[in-house]
Amino acid sequence: MVLAATNKAAAALGLVPGRALADARARVPDLVVLDHAPTADAVLLDWLVMACEVYSPAVAPAPPYGLVIDIAGCTHFFGHDETRLRDDLAARLARFGLTAQLALADTPEAALALARHGEADDDVRLLPVEALAIGGEDHLALRRAGLRTIGDLADRPRTALAARFGEGMTDRLARLLGEIDGRITPHRSLPAVHEEARFAEPLNHVDSAFGVIGELAELACTTLRERALGARRLTASLFRSDGHVARIMIETATPSRDPVLLMRLFREKLGSLNDPLDPGFGYDMIRLAVDHAEPLASTQLDLNGGSATDQPLATLVGRLANRFGRDRITRFASGDSYIPEQAAFELSAIDPPLPQRWSEPEPGEPPLRPLHLFDPPQRVDVIAAVPDGPPLRFRWRRRLHHVLRYEGPERIAPEWWQRQHGHEPGRHGLSRDYYRIEDAHGRRFWLFRHGLYGSEKVDPDWYMHGIFA
Amino acid sequence: MNIISLDSHRAALATGTGEPTACRAGEMPWERSIAPAALHEIFAADEIEEGAAAAFALLLGWRHRPGRDRPLFWVREQASLRRHGRLYAPGLAELGIDPAQLMQAQLPDPVAVLRAGADIARTGGVGAVVIELAGRPKALDLTASRRLSLAAAQSGALVLVLRLDATPSPSACWSRWQVAAAPSRPLAAQAPGTPCFDVTLLRLRGGPAGMQYRLEWDRDAQAFHDTPLSGGMAALVAERTDPPARQLGG
């Protein structure tokens, strides 16, 4: 076993990651050792990435132990002074109980290299060649050649370096030196529109936090109006001063930029949260992001000055989907299959409806498909006169039904082309023989025999698949 | 605010009892009991008749919704899915109901069902809402049914409460029906025919109750037809009180 990571005190004793645990124990007998938990580290890093979104919406994790924040244009709250932002971050991380190396640089690569290998306010050129992070052997080769710092490399002709170490190395070098502008891939995609509010003193009440979200919603709606967009999905992020981030996400059924409607959806959502908002020590920032927006042309108001966005049904669907969950409010979608249970699906009603194709019933014919479908079908005990004939009696839910009238069988073959080896004889699956049945009291059922008697199955089972009107 | 909604409710009730606002093609006398913009209750006669009761509620909502382009909502408990199966869109199309006009809400408990049901019923532009409830949930009290009936009056939607596995209890409903499946008129080769229902009017506000009808759903005409009842004579009695019949007599 080797050491994966050490704290400051251990590092001061000369224990560095990579050293064998036995050696370390020999040196420091009362060493406290904990098992390495990479998953827990990743979870903490994720949490930290979210907590750092308080500084900028663009934060990217740099596993295993780093993260990069793109603070371009995000320093106005700190008087356009990057070092003040850095000091604020250091104080915040210290409050979380974390020791961090912070560095400011022009490119993400340079910032990471400075944080890992340098001291604060260092020059990139003074960093050791290990900052290139191109592999131990190459680092050794560079050192053997007498090239110890990035500065040494920067002055060399790049073609020679590329010939020896590959283009990847010169590319990294150029990024470290800021010759190529690098971008980070943020943890979450940048919103179409976002508004934020910071507070000098943390906000302690959920109600006042909601008031702030309302103000932000108005600002965001103004921006949306200017761009002729309507919001479909919004997230309000409430950053608590102890690093916890509460997110409230709402969706609308149609593009909207009506702050009143959006706030009503936020209230609905808040009412249905499993764990209510806990302001704790207070929120020090609130951000409202429009994650997804769609074009929405401006509409003219009525002559008598009514609301332009008077779509009660879309509002209703949005409200229900936000209160109860988007998958609970559904509408139908047609499936492309002969297998009855795959012929229709239910999709969330908040999504735009898909075109639906249903077969037109023949005039004068009774319904051939049941109104209610059991999925999965329910097993029934059936007595039939002959094994491949229609049922005479069947028992379902502890009741005996006598078949008075029937129609069938309607044979539905399995989709053999969907199965592995389905084209081989005997492996195409079981056919179903469907019967429309009416019992002595007029109840109408849809039964099927699973498997053809004799050729597919010796003793086919019967199933109840649906109930007719 | 309350007074206004009460007044609009009264107005709706007046139109419900007096002249029917929109007379549908092929409207039968019993259908005058289905007052628009009101709450109606539908009970299954038996555990096994729940499919028929659900179908009747759906057809009633489809036929009597106030506008052709106003959608239908079906609100039910998630648990009911297991027992009664899911609504099947091709089956709806076979009954003449456009599946594109139906939206479903499957909710965790009766409280959520009633809350969502009232919310839907209150919304303008909704055609009909079927609220399916099993047993006797505590949340379904007089207040809840009064709230539903006010919501219906406010929006003009038809609100149908489908009670499965339950016995009638006091409520603010306009009419109350009990439904069972009835043998269909057989087609050639003894094949089951179009859907038939045995329907009993249990209660009608300000009107006689206890009538029985045997109804057949005609998908092509989008209407219910009367079929001769082999047993009781109650349906014939209802026919005689029918104004056109009186005209013929006079």
Give the tens place of pLDDT for each residue, A138-173.
Answer: 888 888 888 888 888 888 888 888 888 888 888 888
Domains of chain B and any CATH numbers = 28-184+191-249 (3.40.50.300)
| CB B49 within 8 Å of CB B78 | no
Residue contact B195–A468, C-beta within 8 A: yes
Chain B residues near residue A440 by CB distance under 8 angstroms? 183
CA distances from B26 to A295, A354, A431 (A): 46, 34, 43
Taking residues B40-51, report their average pLDDT: 92
pLDDT in tens, A383-424: 998 888 899 999 998 899 999 999 989 999 988 888 888 888
Cα separation, B158 vs B66, in Å, equals 8
Helices marked H in A288-421:
312-324
Q: Do A312 and B191 touch (CB under 8 A)?
A: no
For residue A226, give the amino acid letter.
E
On whether ipTM exceeds 0.90, the answer is: no
How many residues can be counted in chain A? 469
How far apart CA A140 and CA A128 sit, in angstroms, is 11
Contact: B51, A469; criterion CB under 8 Å: yes
DSSP 3-state assignment of A220? helix
Nearest chain B Cα distance for residue A349, angstroms: 7
Rounded to whole angstroms, how far apart are CA atoms A122 and A125?
8
DSSP string, B173-218: -SEEEEEEE-PPPP-GGG---S-EEEEEEEEETTS----EEEEEEE
Question: Taking CB atoms and an 8 Å cutoff, what residues of chain A touch B75?
Answer: none
Residue A211 CB contacts under 8 Å (≥ 6 apart), including other chains:
none
- pLDDT tens string B69-107: 899 999 999 998 888 899 999 999 999 999 999 999 999
**Residue in A328, A340, A405 closest to B106 by CB:** A328
Distance CA A453, CA A431 (A): 10
Kindly list the residues from chain B whose CB atom is less than 8 angstroms away from the CB atom of residue A328. 78, 105-107
Q: What residue ranges define each of the domains in chain A, with the CATH number in brackets?
A: 125-189 (1.10.150), 193-298+310-322 (3.30.1490.100), 372-467 (no CATH)
Tell me the mean pLDDT per 10 residues along chain A, length 469: 85 86 89 90 90 88 88 85 89 87 88 81 80 83 86 87 87 86 83 88 89 93 91 91 88 87 89 81 91 80 53 86 90 90 90 85 90 93 89 92 91 88 84 92 92 86 92
Chain A residues closer than 8 Å to B196 by CB: 442
| Interface residue of A345, A371, A465 to substitute, partner B, most B CBs within 10 Å | A371
